[in-house]
Chains A and B, each alone.
Chain A
Amino acid sequence: MNTGLKPKHQRLVLVLIALVALVGAGLLAAWALRNQASYFYVPSQMAADPPQVGQPVRLGGMVETGSLATAADGITLSFIVGDGEARVPVSFSGIVPDLFVEGSGVVAEGSLGPDGTFQATDLLAKHDENYMPRELQDMSVAQARETVAETSE
């Protein structure tokens, strides 16, 4: 593209190449975001309109009081996350966050298994008084109590 081109044309070609690449990147990103972004579910949404098995999503709700159990291997936990309307069983292998307790909010990252159990790969709990996962921010203390009261009846 060098010999026959005037500087002005070379600039035009360069701008075009850059534009094509950048627009391509943008389109690719937009397409990938639609497919790869992991959506946030509360238990009632997950019950009404479950995500595909194996698709990475996040599940947020309250850990039901009395539902937390550790398997014989000492590292696999099972518990139920509820929002007052629906309940989703969750299974998780690993070291739980320090403030993960029954009756408190949790966001589980993972995917829904074929048996309807949510297989969590990561748990995010309220970290301290100042920080909590963004999805839990909206659940006020009152809401949380109400939810726990309803689900533990």
Chain B
Amino acid sequence: MIAEFALAALWLAAALAALQLIGGALGVRGGGGEALAALVRPAAVVQALLCALAFGALLLLFARTDLSVALVANNSHSAKPMLYKITGAWGNHEGSMLLWVTVMALSGGLIALVERRLPERTMLATLAAQAFVAIGFYAFLLLSSNPFTRLVPAPADGAGLNPSLQDIGQALHPPTLYTGYVGLSVAFSFAVGALVTRQVTPEFAKVMRPWVLGAWIFLTLGITAGSYWAYYELGWGGWWFWDPVENAALMPWLAATALLHSAGVLAARDALRAWTIMLGVVAFSMSMIGTFLVRSGILTSVHAFAVDPERGTFILALLAIYIGGALVLFAVRAGTVAEGERFSVLSREGALVVNNVALSAILGIVLLGTLYPLLTEAFGVRVSVGPPYFNPVGAIFFLPMLVVLAVGPLLRWRRDRLARVRGPMLVIAAAAVVALLVAWWTSGIGLLPLLGMMMAAAVAIGSFLPLRGRSLRRVPLPVWGMCLSHFGVAVALFGMAADSAFQTERLVAARVGETAQVGPWSITLAAVDPVAGPNWTALSARLQVRYDGGATRLLEPQARSFWAPPQQTTEAALLTRWNGQLYTVIGGEAPDDASGTSRWQLRLWWKPFVTFIWYGGVLIALGGASALVGRVVGDVRRRTARGRIEQRRVEGFREPAEALA
């Protein structure tokens, strides 16, 4: 019953999206459509509720392990911890597409509910655009990826969930990422709405900015969490693999970061109008391309795509309609967007233009690198593209961007003089040089980590220099947010550079009682025991680890075997110190040594400051959050003040003194 009910809710939501599109379109055209236009906002809100209901129903079906539903039977198992039964709901294609659509409906509903600052016509066009995109994905979900299909007869038990996904990281990371990913649909819709109604104004940028910021915060957290999940769950000791699935999340983040900064220019200075619109379109296009890459099966093989073309072709068609349509609209209307205000090269705007161009270039580089293997495979040549491409080529644009990141926030809007900022610039340069010399002196590290260390120091200092000479109590929250985010970039960069420069790795076949050294750690294999969990058995090593002769701590890495589905995973055991992480993995049994004693394969890493990568990511998101809070609080305060003043006016200036205060 629940499944049928949820399916009906989805169909109803799709119908409401159609109503929202028609009502919005009529409202924009004007002349007779006002009755329908009045339904647009309620339609968006009810749609959000229906989708939330359908998603809730799917969670319930998974929690109960209702095996008469095909999706549950294929992806769940009754002998699974409750948490992973529920998170299994989005650990598969159909469930994650339902999550996608739900997030899209929720963000549409939210702007319909609270956003009243823009002209109503622009809002109607925005909501119509949101509905137009939603309809395509409702169609995809209902016609080719129905999560509520029944299975007759119901099997005795389910097929189980991939054990790598049975993890708390998997529980949190996809919803966070999707919220950011699909939240960008709002930016897309706002951009389309502003273009259609010719309202590319600073006011529009001010309205769009908090929504982009919200999506960007989730995207940042999602990528950070995903990176950490891959790091400890896969047992490979790496935190970024330039895997197409990772790139699919990184590309919208790059575009959203650029959009955030250009929207800032538009809001503050009424410049970069057309460019901001373009980025709004590009950001969500990257989300859709990412969805296509991940969901079409094309990543496994171009041939896998050809074997089961329905889903892939469907998303590809949606991509063509939405991205193509938006670009055509842009081409037609961009000419009517008047030029923005002028600014000098040496100005805040100038620095932000560099930021935008560099981010776009990196985006292009990542996009090309991700699509290249697909392209060559179509011509029968198989290649893979990895760090040797992405790292140096990305760095060519990333490093200059960091220079501007350190200096740009010091500059004034519109026009500035070099003499005015010479002092702080010298401080930044000094920090960079000192860091470079120290890093170079203490170790012979590679060029990229060396430059990374240098820029981390420059950006760390530069990020707080805009606060100099200001009364810290009166610095607005968004400025604190900017400083915090920029500092987060420095922290993450330092972590990346330190990890790639200083990590040490040992691979040993150890007898019980044997001690191995990795970096400052001495690690003794105390025992290897068989252990069992709810749906797995494992080999568990007991490692006694000591840092530089300090206290002994115990680590227990495991090699687990799951039986539903039958698969093995390595559970790394990590020990975190302020200055890095010890990362231990147990492999299998190695052949006996010469004397016939059994040995076990251990892989040990000492990763100095690796945790800074994720601390940095969290700081970046935290900076975004404080900026968002600052903006929303400021807006609410302005609104209530305006409301109060108007009310006083109505009451006949009875308390003029208070109204002024």
Residues of A within 8 A of B (CB): 1-2, 5, 7-8, 10-11, 14, 17-18, 21-22, 24-26, 28-30, 32-33, 36-40, 56, 58, 70, 72-75, 93-96, 98-99, 109, 127-131, 134-135, 137-138
Q: Which single member of B162, B376, B393 contacts A28 (CB below 8 Å)? A: B393
Q: Which single member of A7, A22, A95 contacts B360 (CB below 8 Å)? A: A22
Interface residues on chain B, number (Cβ under 8 Å):
60
List, sorted by A's number, 27 A–B pairs whose CB atoms are closer than 8 Å. Answer: A2-B415, A8-B339, A18-B353, A18-B356, A18-B357, A21-B358, A21-B361, A22-B360, A22-B361, A29-B365, A37-B389, A38-B383, A38-B385, A38-B386, A39-B382, A40-B382, A56-B386, A74-B601, A75-B508, A95-B507, A96-B587, A128-B567, A134-B300, A135-B382, A137-B300, A137-B301, A137-B303
Residues of B347-402 contacting chain A, CB below 8 A: 353, 356-358, 360-362, 364-365, 368-369, 372-373, 376, 381-386, 388-389, 392-393, 396-397
Main secondary structure of the interface of A (DSSP, over half): mixed
Mask of B395-426 contacts with A, CB within 8 angstroms, 1/0: 01100000000000000000100000000000
Query: Does B446 touch A at the CB level, under 8 Å?
Result: no
The 7 A-B pairs with the shortest beta carbon distances in the complex, nearest first, are: A74-B509, A95-B587, A40-B382, A74-B590, A98-B568, A25-B361, A7-B339
Tell me the bound Cα distance from A28 to B390 in angstroms: 11
- Which residue in chain A gives the minimum CB-CB distance to B273? A11
Residues of B568-601 contacting chain A, CB below 8 A: 568-570, 585, 587-588, 590-591, 593-594, 599, 601
Query: Does B173 touch A at the CB level, under 8 Å?
Result: no
Query: Which residues of chain B are within 8 angstroms of A131 by Cβ–Cβ distance?
Result: 300
B392 touches A32 (CB 8 A): yes
A95 touches B301 (CB 8 A): no
Query: Which residues of chain B are within 8 angstroms of A96 by Cβ–Cβ distance?
Result: 587-588
A95 touches B357 (CB 8 A): no
- Which residue in chain B gives the minimum CB-CB distance to A137? B301
**Further 8 A-B residue pairs, CB within 8 A, beyond A30-B368, A32-B393:** A2-B342, A2-B345, A33-B372, A37-B384, A74-B601, A94-B603, A98-B567, A128-B162
Tell me the bound Cα distance from A58 to B299 in angstroms: 17
Query: Does B565 touch A at the CB level, under 8 Å?
Result: yes
Query: Does B340 touch A at the CB level, under 8 Å?
Result: yes
A1 touches B345 (CB 8 A): yes
Max chain B Cβ within 10 angstroms of own Cβ: one of A1, A11, A17, A58: A11
Tell me the bound Cα distance from A18 to B304 in angstroms: 38
Query: Which residues of chain A are within 8 angstroms of B132 by Cβ–Cβ distance?
Result: none
A70 touches B357 (CB 8 A): no
